[in-house]
Amino acid sequence: MPEKELCITHEKPLAFFPHFERKGEGEDQTHYCPGCGHGIVHKLLAETIDELGIQDRTILISPVGCSVFAYYYFDTGNVQAAHGRAPAVATAVKRAHPNSIVISYQGDGDLAAIGAAEILHCANRNENVTVLFVNNTIYGMTGGQMAPTSLPGQKTTTSPGGRDPGRDGYPMRVSELLATLESPAFIERASLGNVKTILQAKKAIRRAIECQMEGKGFSMVELLSPCPTIWKLDPVAAQKRVHDEMERYFEPGIKCDRRASRPEPREAAPPPPLADFSRLLNLPDDNGRTAPAHAHDAERLDWRIRIAGFGGQGVLLLGQLLAEAAMDDGLEVSWLPSYGPEMRSGTSNCHVRISSHPIDSPLVTRANALLALNEPSLRKFLDTVEPGGLVLYNGDHLPDDCRRDNVSVYALPFAEIANQLGSAKVGNMVMLGAFLALSHFLPDERMEAALARLVSSERWVEIDKKALAVGRERVPAEEFRHA
Amino acid sequence: MARQLLKGNEAVVKGALLAGCRAFYGYPITPATEILEAAAWYFPRCGGEFLQAESEVAAIHMVYGAAASGQRAMTASSGPGISLMSEALSYLAGAELPCVIVDLMRAGPGLGNISPEQSDYWQVTRNGGHGSYRSLVLAPASVQEMADLTRLAFDLADRYRNPVFVLADGTIGQMMEPVEFREPAREPVMPEWAVGGTAATRKNLVSSIFLKPDDLELHIAKLEAKYALAEREVRFERYRTDDADVVLVGYGIVARILKHAVDELRAEGIATGLLRPITLVPFPSAELRRMAATVREFVVVEMSTGQMVDDVRLAVDGAAKVSFYGRGGGNLPGAEEVKAMVEGRVRKEGLVHA
Ligand SMILES: Cc1ncc(C[n+]2csc(CCOP(=O)(O)OP(=O)(O)O)c2C)c(N)n1
Ligand code: SF4
């Protein structure tokens, strides 16, 4: 080897620690085997970091594999990740610190097998990070098991007869695979097969990191890499295998380069001041919503209401309006919808509690009011109404085989009444109006304020108000006295 | 500030942003999806990061990355998703990274169904992941607590540099109650140990590796010491327990139902009380032990086949009877049902002081 190259070989890049203190024993040598591709890639990366002047900005994500201890060597920010998850970790690190240079360093088992989903989606989101993918066709750290990249016929401890594509599939050409995605900005495969290709590999790494520095998005360099120890070859023969066998299956070259067509990154907007958070989070201001000096204190008010009907009849909204208006009136409230498969089957119900005292259980298992918008709901819940309770039913009368003596029943064709108002959809509001008239604990203006908040269209607010008024008129207001 | 009628799922998100959380990574799953959706809406507005990940595995490792970067970070999921997250939970604890995970329990095992259960208690309080670590676990019982305990979770996560769970069930996520955000919005602060891509943070390393047995043993001991210290964070609510012969024990939505049952049983002359653990890790063991001196029987009620009851038994250690009543599959126990069950036990066992 000419003297000059030797000299370069012994100069330590600044991006490496002068002594590998994190490693402990043998502080001046890496833990990599002689002739290992990881050692070469480390050196290329460290030199590139130096040349680009990005040591302070760099955050290296080390994987699980022989390079798990990359943080022993790189005097940069370091995060160690779980097996295969480095692209997910890198994603969040970069998004937290957009100005940093994030390098996800991974082996082929790590990236192509256990972390296949993470790399695919990281590339597809065009995350602005750089992945260095060391492909040595083997699981090095665990002692030589088959990798997704092991070549056909390659003997490993888990393919002792050689990789059989018929059984194990063909080796994965990950760079080509990822390059079929429309998103990633830059993907290149380089080889550590000889001095010349190693120099090309360094250029590829530089291109990839520059891609990130320019904000163009995802970049990856796959590095065909020797593992003399597991391959049971001396370093020279191992390098020859990279050149002769690996390069034949995994063709080096740029697989996609969309840097030129990518727009310049946009400057991120500064975060909003905390003073804006109330507005941004839609938190209520106190204007007009402060609860009144409590008008209900004297009486012990305790409504346990079950509201039920078909999906689309406005069951949940009815309940929510009640809870919202009652809360504004200084009462304690809870609203609990049935959720899950029941919703799919087209029925819907909710539990509403309104009380002058703190609410224990939000569940209404024994109701003192049932608002049934259809017959199945009436049949299902009528028996849960306690004696003296109130039942509103959307129909002329209760079915003959579904009756109760000791409850007050108001059966009216609420939906039809609504239809006459112009929309059967507001049958729920007609029923709500009737309930408000019968229960007479909520001032009208509370309900109107709640309506204005929950219903976004002004047209509908007007129709709803009309429906409420009609509902109120249709029941004898003073008749019902809650037991 | 005025009260606002909010779903538990939305209260979590607002509480998190007010607590200075600026990173949400998640994956859809009923009944926690609304948290994801609310986060998609509110996080970007407030200068936070939101991303729908490709899986719960990726989501929680993104949380790992965000936490390593010094952000207050969170995710939310339900049983099947929490199972997938177990891997990273262990790494987070090992690397001493703070974060908040909201688990809205649904019914299992397997796909089970999406109705509420409390059957992730073991999974969450016993770690799920590998190795000697604990997660701290908070159990809200109201929408207000969904907001308040989410905030507390971030504070505890930072204080102990450890993952903290907010463990609720589908019901509490879905229901609406008035919420008031009393504490002001908190400015995000980057801890000095985090990586930042700057000269000042260049020296920082986030890792869970301790190669030498002695080093790892020391590290585990340090974690243990932290968990011992965290015992002081124990929180619980007692209701009418002072003269109680029978004490019902339940958390989350079940505790609300039990409170109702306590009043009904009292009305029948049975001296009943309620102990509601608010922190599940640390568990109010000392309080249970103290109460065991006068209580005849602890009746543990859960929406599972009996998980927390183990912790009650360990705490009481034979000093009083401990019995269990459970519902599952997505069924909630009604107050009447609990009342009848307790009355039955009182008749059978003669539990009440003459
Ligand atoms: C979840 C999990 N499964 C398995 C392992 C064991 N493991 C450690 S390294 C490794 C393979 C690494 O191979 P590769 O990514 O090709 O890297 P190399 O060692 O060849 O550089 C495996 C399977 C682990 N650490 N975690
Ligand atoms: S086993 Fe292979 S990959 Fe691992 S350090 Fe040795 S040569 Fe490198």
Which string of DSSP letters, residue by residue, matches B159-196? HHTSEEEEEEEHHHHH-EEEE---SPP------TTS--
CA–CA–CA angle B217, B223, B225 (5° rounding) = 100
For residue B65, list chain A residues with Cβ-Cβ distance below 8 A. 61, 79, 81, 88-93, 96
* Mean pLDDT score, B298-307: 98
Is A79 within 8 Å of B63 when comparing Cβ atoms? no
Nearest-CA neighbor of A407 among A325, A331, A306?
A306
Closest residue of chain A to B175, computed from CA coordinates: A336
Q: Which atom of ligand 1 is nearest to the CA of A83?
A: 26
CA–CA–CA angle A87, B207, A205 (5° rounding) = 40
Task: Please report the residues numbered 243 through 282 in chain B whose beta carbons come closer than 8 angstroms to any beta carbon of chain A.
Answer: 253, 256-257, 259-260, 263
Nearest-CA neighbor of A455 among A327, A329, A317?
A317
Q: How close is the Cα of B150 to the center of ligand 2, in Å?
A: 45
Structure tokens at B290: 């103290």
Is B207 within 8 Å of A71 when comparing Cβ atoms? yes
* Mean pLDDT score, B234-263: 97
pLDDT of residue A6: 42
Indicate the burial class of A400 (C-beta count within 10 angstroms; 0-12, 13-18, 19 or more): exposed
For residue B177, list chain A residues with Cβ-Cβ distance below 8 A. 333-335, 359, 362
Is A85 within 8 Å of B63 when comparing Cβ atoms? no
Decide if B76 contacts B100 (C-beta within 8 A).
no
Q: Give the separation between CA B307 and CA B300, rounded to whole angstroms.
A: 10
Closest residue of chain B to A287, computed from CA coordinates: B2
Mutate to test the interface with A, among B205, B212, B331, B339 (most CBs of A within 10 A): B205
Return the CATH fold of A37-261. Answer: Rossmann fold (3.40.50)
Q: Give the closest residue (by CA) to ligand 1 atom 4.
A: A83
pLDDT of residue A297: 56
Q: How close is the Cα of A84 to the center of ligand 1, in Å?
A: 8
Is A71 within 8 Å of B204 when comparing Cβ atoms? no
A279 touching chain B per CB within 8 A = no
CA–CA–CA angle B46, B47, B52 (5° rounding) = 95
Closest residue of chain A to B252, computed from CA coordinates: A361
The ligand minimizing its distance to the Cα of A112 is 1
Nearest-CA neighbor of A61 among B259, B154, B206, B271?
B206
Closest residue of chain A to B72, computed from CA coordinates: A96
Nearest-CA neighbor of A448 among A340, A324, A334?
A324
Q: Give the closest residue (by CA) to ligand 2 atom 5.
A: A32
Give, as one character, the DSSP assignment of residue B120. Answer: T
Is B58 within 8 Å of A118 when comparing Cβ atoms? yes
What is the separation, in whole angstroms, between the first and last Cα of chain A? 102
Beta bridge partners of A102: A59
Nearest to B206 among A58, A80, A341 (CB): A80
Q: How close is the Cα of A160 to the center of ligand 2, in Å?
A: 19
Nearest Cα of chain B lies from the Cα of A236 at a distance, in angstroms, of 31
Give me the sign of the Cα torsion angle B285, B286, B290, B291.
negative
Ligand 1 pocket, A136 CB below 6 A? yes
| DSSP letter for each residue of A144-201 | SB--TTPPTT--BTTBTT---HHHH-PPP-HHHHHHTSS--SEEEEEE-SSHHHHHHH
Nearest-CA neighbor of B280 among B236, B318, B330, B242?
B236
Higher pLDDT, B305 or B128: B305
Ligand 1 pocket, A127 CB below 6 A? no
Q: Give the separation between CA B229 and CA B222, rounded to whole angstroms.
A: 11
Give, to the nearest 10 degrees, the angle between helix B253-267 and helix B335-349. 60
Is A362 within 8 Å of B171 when comparing Cβ atoms? yes
Structure tokens at B268: 């029948």
**pLDDT beyond 50 at B170:** yes
Q: Give the separation between CA A351 and CA B90, rounded to whole angstroms.
A: 39
Domains defined along chain B, listed by start? 4-232 (3.40.50.970), 236-349 (3.40.50.920)
Task: Please report the residues numbered 158 through 187 in chain B whose beta carbons come closer than 8 angstroms to any beta carbon of chain A.
Answer: 170-171, 174-178, 181, 184-187
**Per residue in B203-216, pLDDT tens?**
999 999 999 999 99
Give, as one character, the DSSP assignment of residue A265. Answer: P
Q: How close is the Cα of A142 to the center of ligand 1, in Å?
A: 6
In this prediction, what percent of chain B has a pLDDT beyond 90? 97
Cis before B282? omega within 30: yes
Ligand 1 pocket, A113 CB below 6 A? no
pLDDT of residue A288: 47
For residue B334, list chain A residues with Cβ-Cβ distance below 8 A. 363, 365
Q: Which atom of ligand 1 is nearest to the CA of A141?
A: 19
Is A93 within 8 Å of B65 when comparing Cβ atoms? yes
Map out the domains of chain A as residue ranges: 37-261, 298-480
Q: Give the closest residue (by CA) to ligand 2 atom 1.
A: A140
Structure tokens at A182: 């429309």
Laid out side by side, the sheet with A77-80 consists of A253-257, A186-191, A219-224, A130-135, A101-107, A58-62, A77-80, B205-206
What is the block-wise mean pLDDT of chain A (483 residues), using blocks of 10 residues? Answer: 46 94 90 97 98 98 98 98 98 98 98 98 98 98 98 98 98 98 98 98 98 98 98 98 98 98 90 97 72 60 96 93 96 89 71 96 95 96 96 95 93 95 92 94 93 92 94 78 53
Q: How close is the Cα of A5 to the center of ligand 2, in Å?
A: 24
Is B57 within 8 Å of A117 when comparing Cβ atoms? yes
Q: Which atom of ligand 1 is nearest to the CA of A38?
A: 21
B201 touching chain A per CB within 8 A = yes
Laid out side by side, the sheet with B176-179 consists of A408-412, A385-394, A367-372, A302-310, A347-355, A332-337, B176-179, B4-7
The ligand minimizing its distance to the Cα of A65 is 1
The values of phi and psi at residue B108, to 5°, are -130, -170
Nearest Cα of chain B lies from the Cα of A108 at a distance, in angstroms, of 18
pLDDT of residue A3: 43
Structure tokens at B240: 């009418």
Closest residue of chain A to B177, computed from CA coordinates: A334
* Mean pLDDT score, B225-245: 98
Task: Please report the residues numbered 280 through 309 in chain A whose beta carbons come closer than 8 angstroms to any beta carbon of chain B.
Answer: 280-281, 283-286, 289-291
Is B259 within 8 Å of A121 when comparing Cβ atoms? no
Cis before B98? omega within 30: no
Nearest Cα of chain A lies from the Cα of B333 at a distance, in angstroms, of 10
Q: Give the separation between CA B96 and CA B163, rounded to whole angstroms.
A: 8
No. of helices (H) and no. of strands (E), chain A? 19, 13
pLDDT of residue A184: 98
Q: How far is CA B73 from CA A96, B32, B42, B162, in A?
A: 10, 17, 14, 12
Q: Which atom of ligand 2 is nearest to the CA of A32?
A: 5
Residues with CB under 6 A from ligand 2: A 32-33, 36, 38, 66, 136, 140, 227-230
Q: How close is the Cα of A229 to the center of ligand 1, in Å?
A: 16
Nearest-CA neighbor of A132 among A87, A178, A182, A85?
A87
**Per residue in B269-300, pLDDT tens?**
999 999 999 999 999 999 999 999 999 999 99
Domain A298-480 has CATH 3.40.50.1950: no
Same fold, A37-261 and A298-480: no
Residue type, A330: G
Nearest to A340 among B113, B207, B260 (CB): B113
